[in-house]
Structure 1
Amino acid sequence: MKYEEFVARVRERGEYDSAAEAQQVIGIVVTALAERLAPEEARQLGAQLPAQLGDVLRTAVGGGLREGVTEFLHRVGEGTGATERTAEWDASAVLTTIADAVSGGELNDVLTQLPSGYATLFGRPGVSG
């Protein structure tokens, strides 16, 4: 998937007024996600995404913070200035687009590194077998 298509899908899912608004949310959510992944997993995920997102994943790696969904959404909300409910909407718009853009095996690898509760933000009921 090309970056422009990724932004367009996030913009549509998040119902953002502009591509710039969608890009801002993408940057915040991908950075927050990268902080929760081990460096190697962030690199592997980034390899399946548009180069701009891969760059964010490689440079924002935080070494696998084991924070739950509530803390993740708080971080997203701080970045966007949104309420927790809106942060959940924003995160889901980006993470479901990531889920669509990567292989099922890679998505499972990501989900197994995250505490329970993240799968629904990716539009999945859980880790696949």
Structure 2
Amino acid sequence: MNYDTFVDQVARRTRVDSERAVELIHATLETLTERLTGGEVLDLATQLPTPLQLVLKPTPSTEAADRFGAAEFVARVGRRAGIDEMAARDAVRAVFTTLREAVSGGEFDDMVGQFPRDYREMVEPALAPGASVLRRA
């Protein structure tokens, strides 16, 4: 999936313009970088367009995953994007669904495997039948 398609899909899913979609994508990916191990961040980044790879850059401080739950994930995305909890949860779902379409199923499964059960509500929409209808353009 190319960068423009990724942004367009998130914009469509969140019903915002492309500029705002980029902000939501960055907020979610930056938070994801904190939540995943550095190796998983790199694995995920290799399957994404270059502008998104630049957001998913692990640092020595992010090599080990910061273990926080889904509520904290949403709160961090909300703070980064300047939105409330409900909008942040919708943004995370939209980015996760688009990630699922953009990367291999195995890579998405590896990412999800690092999440505790409380992430299920945000991840399940990406795994639902028909979620990949827009797969790789």
Give TM-score scaled by structure 2 length.
Answer: 0.84
Q: How does 1:1-129 map to 2 (within 5 A)?
A: 1-16=1-16, 18-59=17-58, 62=62, 63-122=64-123, 123=125, 124=127
Instruction: Tell me the CA shift for residue 103 of structure 1.
Output: 1.0
Give yes or no for contact 1:42–1:58 (8 Å, CA) kept in 2: yes
Root-mean-square deviation over aligned CA pairs: 1.6
How far apart, CA to CA, are the structure 1 residues paired with 2:33 and 2:119?
13
Give yes or no for contact 2:41–2:58 (8 Å, CA) kept in 1: no
1:16-54 residue CA offsets vs partner (Å, 9 max, x unmatched): 0x2111101111110001111111100000111111111
How far apart, CA to CA, are the structure 1 residues paired with 2:14 and 2:42?
26
Structure 1: runs of 5 or more not aligned: none
Instruction: Tell me the CA shift for residue 69 of structure 1.
Output: 0.2
Identity percentage of aligned residues: 35
How far apart, CA to CA, are the structure 2 residues paired with 1:85 and 1:79?
14
Query: How many residue pairs are counted as aligned between the two chains?
Result: 124
The residue identity in structure 2 corresponding to 1:9 is: Q
Give yes or no for contact 2:38–2:58 (8 Å, CA) kept in 1: no
Q: Which shows bigger deviation, 29-38 or 115-124?
A: 115-124
Instruction: Tell me the CA shift for residue 59 of structure 1.
Output: 4.3
The residue identity in structure 1 corresponding to 2:97 is: T
Q: Give the secondary-structure state (helix, strand or coil) at the position aligned to 2:56.
A: helix
Structure 2: runs of 5 or more not aligned: 129-137
Q: Which shows bigger deviation, 57-66 or 30-39?
A: 57-66
